[in-house]
Structure 1
Amino acid sequence: MTDEAQTVPANARAIFWICVLLLFTAALGFSIRTGVSGAIKETLLDPYMPMASGEMIAATLGYSFLGFALSLLAISPLLDLFGAKKVVLFSAATFIVGPVLILLSPSAGDGATTYIVLNIGMVVCGLGWGAMEASVNPVTTAIYPEDKTGKLNALHAWWPFGIIVGGLASVFLYEASGVSWQVMIALIIVPAVLCGAWALAQDFPPTETNAKGVPFATMMAEPFKRPGFWIFPAIMFLTASAELAPGSWVDVALTETVGMPGILVLVYVSAIMFVMRHFAGPLERRFSDIGLLCVCTIPAAIGLYLLSLANSPATALLAATAWAIGVCFMWPTMLAAVSRRYPASGPWGIGITGFAGAMAIYAVLPEIGKIYDEAKLEAAGGTEAFAALQPGPELHAALAHAAEQSFQAIAVVPVVLFVVFGLVWLVERARRKA
């Protein structure tokens, strides 16, 4: 059965918007957890382990990424066995249970117990994030087989929209209006409840592999029978490094150097991505998926390099514009490219690719931080010299140098991707002519 011959369910529109709401919930949760992490550190971790509280909150945030990666890898091959509806409901439930555990952690007992419950809450949130990715992408390709790139980009446009809502809420509700971090965390539960209730009322379609009768063993073996598949998870590792890792870093690196909260730069970038992802379908038909990805690496590299030099709100927004244009199509277009080239791999193939992207964030972000820390100490003249710096021009110069070095290091990734995508495009073009 070809993609075009596959039956589109009558409730495709409702299913798509359930997927949108679930993805939005994951993005909102990610943004809010990041926005209130400083308050969680101050209220829960500083009294318990003041000398190690920074490392502890970084590890706590990292648990959500680890949960994301592991659940995505575990659930993806079993999606047809469980059924997409059950996985969607599981994801919605974890976006309720995870925040509740985070809210209960202060009353769990002593500092050690509080930290354990807090981390369990983060892991549960990450499990829901991975279950969301494991379900909504195969469901979308199943209900819109004729427009995978366009619909996956339209779906993932709501990730930056969730970042926008969560980022603005963090700035204006939490920081400006004094709303407690507990209320902010509780906000995540609202769309999760709505999504779960909506999903209960709908019948979900089978995935492409299920609809075509692809056996489980065939799906699992497909990536290993076709070695060319593995280039795509490797590419996804790099594309996520160019998109999501810097997105998690802008608040730390840019707030001191550009004269505005770094989270607002991320909100601005997310707004551009939300708009542009709705145009991915026509662009993909014009350039091809690999051609589109290759072209996008150019503004991505330029934007990341310019972010390293940004020293004012105007220069930061100019650089962020180029970076946003470059990275906005990468994640969903990579998923669509895998689904189109290896349809028999089904949810498993999409899951492996998404897992590679998730692990990139988990692995690369600490390395960016390490580069940043080493650069600021180098600029200050050593550890003791940096510790002695007071707020002023010297500290600003050290942090600006650190931001420059960290962004320039990651700016190399899109340059590498330009070469990789170019080679893939040439090889596939030669095969079509053969």
Structure 2
Amino acid sequence: MKKPIEPSKLFVASCLALLVTSLSFGIRAGILGELGVKFNLNVSQLSIIAGTAFWGFPLAVVIGGFIVDSIGMKRLLMAAFALHLIGIVLTIFANGFWSLFISTLFIGMANGTVEAACNPLVASIYPNNKTTKLSHFHLWFPGGIVVGTLIVFLFKNYLNLGYEWQVATMIIPTIIYGYLFLQLEMPVTERVAAGVSDKEMYRALGSPLFIFIFIMMFGTAITELFTGQWIDVLLKNVTENAILILALTAGVQTLGRAFAGPLIHRMAPAGVLLASAVFSAIGLYMLGHVSGNLIFAAAIIFGIGVTYFWPTMIGFVSENVPKSGALGMNLVGGAGMFAVSIYMIFMGSFYDGIIARNLPANASLDAYRGAAAGTPEAAAFAQAQAVAGPEIINATLVIPIILVVAFTGLVFYMRGRQKPHLQTA
């Protein structure tokens, strides 16, 4: 006899899977510096490793988007479980650049596979409250970042345990979510349930509204995820508690997404996206220009700004271009992560270039980076870092400014548009 669908249990399992995704993000952000020292990696190499997770994600989420309707969400989630477990173990036993590259790729693919299955799963089990429930689901991303950054802070500063132990903490929720999904019955995706044909789905993917959101996802994802992943590198010479800024920002996101329902119903998704862009621009400007305790105020404002970007973009597609189905949601998510991966690699090289320009003429970047603490070379390198971080943040500021203009136009467009229905004619 077929088991009944249990929405609440499926939602809990989905949240645990996303928790592992976010733990990988928060822990990786906190251990990048340690990895650089242990394996003698420069910022360009670290940016390639970190960026691997962001292009492994779109690779998996796009492939998952194409096959989820045919193979079902359960098989995808079992694949995510296996990829997470392999990636975590490979990271623990990494011995250099390439092993870190491969392990991060596995984790990135696992994260993308989770999104490929769980976004349409949440939309399927809560068809009348998609954007709000997607916000509740996605609160576990910043929530996990808070936990991950605090794990790094505790293990590094009080327990004196290396990155291997920090990464190993992810094994527990991975095993739990894998077990839960193995036991639970899954529904079919909304598109399959409604009988929407492949032709109708591809036509929806070519609509101007979908293309607009697809492109805007580049900017919203870079604003949120690039800044968060690199906060410890960008601000560690501006404040002694750079990793706690990420925890604070993620904490604001977690609370905001928990109470998303009333805000989304009052302002509508387009209005929420516009407000998010405004707060993000103000917060990013402050992060690049203030110091001392004001930087924590900047982190709060920035956190408010990026709180609703990701779930609202995904929910907007599901509600306003419903015939695009799971593939539409996953293509948008994949576009965001792919944009972050490219931007991260580019900015890693840009960061090293700024450092080099702020060192004495003909100075060896590697020699200054590896200089012993207390030497003139170490002091000069720290000063160059203090200049480079805010400069990268200021360069990124142009993105949310563009989003403010774009989402203003979206607000006016959506006021005159009738909400579409999923059912076929």
TM-score, with length taken from structure 1 = 0.88
Q: Partners in 1 of 2:160 and 2:415 — Cα distance?
A: 57
Task: From 166, 169, 173, give the equivalent of 1:187.
Answer: 169
Task: From 134, 137, 144, give the equivalent of 1:152.
Answer: 134
Q: Classify the secondary structure of the residue corresponding to 1:204.
A: coil
Q: Does 1:136 align with 2:122?
A: no
Residue-by-residue CA offset, 1:314-340 (whole Å, 9 max, x unaligned): 111011111111111001000000111
Residue-by-residue CA offset, 1:367-422 (whole Å, 9 max, x unaligned): 33344344444445655398775344x65554333222211111121111111011
Task: Indicate if the aligned counterparts of 1:220 and 1:348 stay in contact, CA closer than 8 A.
Answer: no
Aligned to 1:390: 377
Q: Partners in 1 of 2:387 and 2:143 — Cα distance?
A: 31
Q: Measure how far apart 1:425 and its partner are.
A: 1.6
Aligned to 2:372: none
Aligned to 1:409: 395
Task: From 26, 31, 46, give the equivalent of 1:31.
Answer: 26
Partner AA of 2:409 in structure 1: L
Structure 2: gaps of 5 or more residues: 369-375, 420-425
Q: Classify the secondary structure of the residue corresponding to 1:163.
A: helix
Task: Indicate if the aligned counterparts of 1:369 and 1:406 stay in contact, CA closer than 8 A.
Answer: no
Residue-by-residue CA offset, 1:156-180 (whole Å, 9 max, x unaligned): 1111111111111111113431113
Q: Partners in 2 of 1:100 and 1:125 — Cα distance?
A: 10
Partner AA of 1:75 in structure 2: G
Partner AA of 2:7 in structure 1: A
Amino-acid identity (%): 30
Aligned to 2:57: 68
Task: Indicate if the aligned counterparts of 1:163 and 1:267 stay in contact, CA closer than 8 A.
Answer: yes
Aligned to 1:196: 178
Task: From 283, 303, 311, give the equivalent of 1:332.
Answer: 311
Partner AA of 1:87 in structure 2: L
Task: Indicate if the aligned counterparts of 2:237 and 2:383 stay in contact, CA closer than 8 A.
Answer: no
Q: Partners in 2 of 1:385 and 1:182 — Cα distance?
A: 31
Task: From 279, 289, 298, give the equivalent of 1:319.
Answer: 298
Q: Partners in 2 of 1:67 and 1:318 — Cα distance?
A: 33
Structure 1: gaps of 5 or more residues: 1-8, 47-51, 107-113
Q: 1:33 to 1:299 in 2, by over 3 A?
A: closer
Partner AA of 1:361 in structure 2: V
Aligned to 1:173: 155
Residue-by-residue CA offset, 1:262-318 (whole Å, 9 max, x unaligned): 111000111111001112221111111001111121111111001011221x11101
Q: Measure how far apart 1:54 and its partner are.
A: 4.7
Aligned to 2:11: 16
Aligned to 2:405: 419
Q: 1:403 to 1:382 in 2, by over 3 A?
A: farther
Q: Does 1:208 align with 2:190?
A: yes
Q: Classify the secondary structure of the residue corresponding to 1:245.
A: helix
Relative CO higher for 1 or 2, CA cutoff 8 Å, sep ≥ 6?
2
User: Which is helix-richer, 1 or 2?
Assistant: 1
Number of residue pairs the alignment of both structures matches: 408
Aligned to 1:359: 338
Aligned to 1:267: 247
CA RMSD of aligned residues (A): 2.2
Q: Does 1:257 align with 2:238?
A: yes
Q: Does 1:308 align with 2:297?
A: no
Q: Partners in 2 of 1:164 and 1:431 — Cα distance?
A: 38
Task: Indicate if the aligned counterparts of 1:25 and 1:162 stay in contact, CA closer than 8 A.
Answer: yes
Aligned to 1:372: 351
Partner AA of 1:296 in structure 2: S
Q: Measure how far apart 1:214 and its partner are.
A: 1.6
Q: Measure how far apart 1:11 and its partner are.
A: 1.0
Partner AA of 2:326 in structure 1: P
Q: Measure how far apart 1:103 and its partner are.
A: 3.1
Partner AA of 1:278 in structure 2: A
Residue-by-residue CA offset, 1:132-175 (whole Å, 9 max, x unaligned): 11011111111111111111111111111111111111111134
Aligned to 2:385: 399
Aligned to 1:429: 415
Q: Measure how far apart 1:41 and its partner are.
A: 3.9
Task: Indicate if the aligned counterparts of 1:371 and 1:402 stay in contact, CA closer than 8 A.
Answer: no
Task: Indicate if the aligned counterparts of 2:43 and 2:352 stay in contact, CA closer than 8 A.
Answer: no
Q: Measure how far apart 1:115 and its partner are.
A: 4.5
Q: Classify the secondary structure of the residue corresponding to 1:36.
A: helix
Q: Classify the secondary structure of the residue corresponding to 1:390.
A: helix
TM-score, with length taken from structure 2 = 0.90
Task: Indicate if the aligned counterparts of 1:164 and 1:267 stay in contact, CA closer than 8 A.
Answer: yes
Partner AA of 1:408 in structure 2: N
Q: Partners in 1 of 2:205 and 2:57 — Cα distance?
A: 21
